[in-house]
Amino acid sequence: MQHELGPFTVADWHALPPREDGSRLELIEGYWLVTPAPSGQHQWAESELIRILKSALRRAGRSDLYALGGVGVEINVAQQSALIPDFLVLGTPPVGSSFRPEHVLLAGEIWSPGNTFREKQDKFTHFAAVGVPFFWSITQDRRGPDELTAYRLEDGHYEVREQVLLGSGRKAVTAAPVPVELDVADLRL
């Protein structure tokens, strides 16, 4: 293996054993990004959001699409980047631990207060660069999500299409593989 400081490859990323502490290890341009294990509020929001996405996919009759969380996306092998979004919608059966970006229709992140601007920008930029059509960004406070911003890829960059704020009730989000109705309050404890 290369020097412990990098750069590392997507093959190195695949060779790593699962992290026992629940943290996530991502690869950005050859260097590790370690994020701590998600909080209980984060995991609750993630599981509820995946449930909502699965329900929307079923209602739309899209048995060919799959909503899940915590799996890797091989962003760019040449640029040595691989990310693990909090949740995603795949257009291929979810067999394996990572997927090519062309199979990802929606990627999303639930940002903790400790996430840096650089972390957010890196993920946003990388998913846009590989053509993931939709990206959802969810901010949260101590009790869970307080805002969802849904983006659609337009001319190689993400454009805001909808925002759902805590207290605004149930809203339709169309910047997704199928329309999704949700209330941010349903993602909170």
Q: Are 126 and 28 in contact (CB under 8 A)?
A: yes
* Cα 80 to Cα 91: distance, rounded to the nearest angstrom: 23
Please indicate, yes or no, if residue 1 is contained in any of the structural domains: no
Give DSSP secondary structure letters for 31-77: EEEEEPPPPHHHHHHHHHHHHHHHHHHHHTT-TT-EEE-S-EEEEET
Which CATH number goes with the domain that contains 70? 3.90.1570.10
Q: What is the mean pLDDT of the chain?
A: 93
Query: Which tokens is 92 given?
Result: 């291929």
Write down the pLDDT at residue 167.
Answer: 96
- Summarised one tens digit per residue, pLDDT across range 58-72 is 999 999 999 999 899
- Summarised one tens digit per residue, pLDDT across range 10-53 is 999 989 888 888 888 899 989 998 888 888 999 999 999 999 99
Please indicate, yes or no, if residue 125 is contained in any of the structural domains: yes
Write down the pLDDT at residue 2.
Answer: 45
Please indicate, yes or no, if residue 5 is contained in any of the structural domains: no
Check pLDDT > 90 for residue 173. yes
Please indicate, yes or no, if residue 127 is contained in any of the structural domains: yes
- Give the structural domain span for 63: 10-187
Structure-model confidence comparison of residues 106 and 77, the more confident one: 106
Write down the pLDDT at residue 1.
Answer: 42
Please indicate, yes or no, if residue 109 is contained in any of the structural domains: yes
Q: Could you tell me the strand order of the sheet in which 157-165 lies?
A: 66-68, 87-90, 104-111, 134-141, 144-154, 157-165
Write down the pLDDT at residue 46.
Answer: 96
Please indicate, yes or no, if residue 4 is contained in any of the structural domains: no
Check pLDDT > 90 for residue 100. yes
Structural domain count, the chain: 1
Write down the pLDDT at residue 4.
Answer: 67
- Summarised one tens digit per residue, pLDDT across range 41-58 is 999 999 999 999 999 999
Write down the pLDDT at residue 51.
Answer: 98
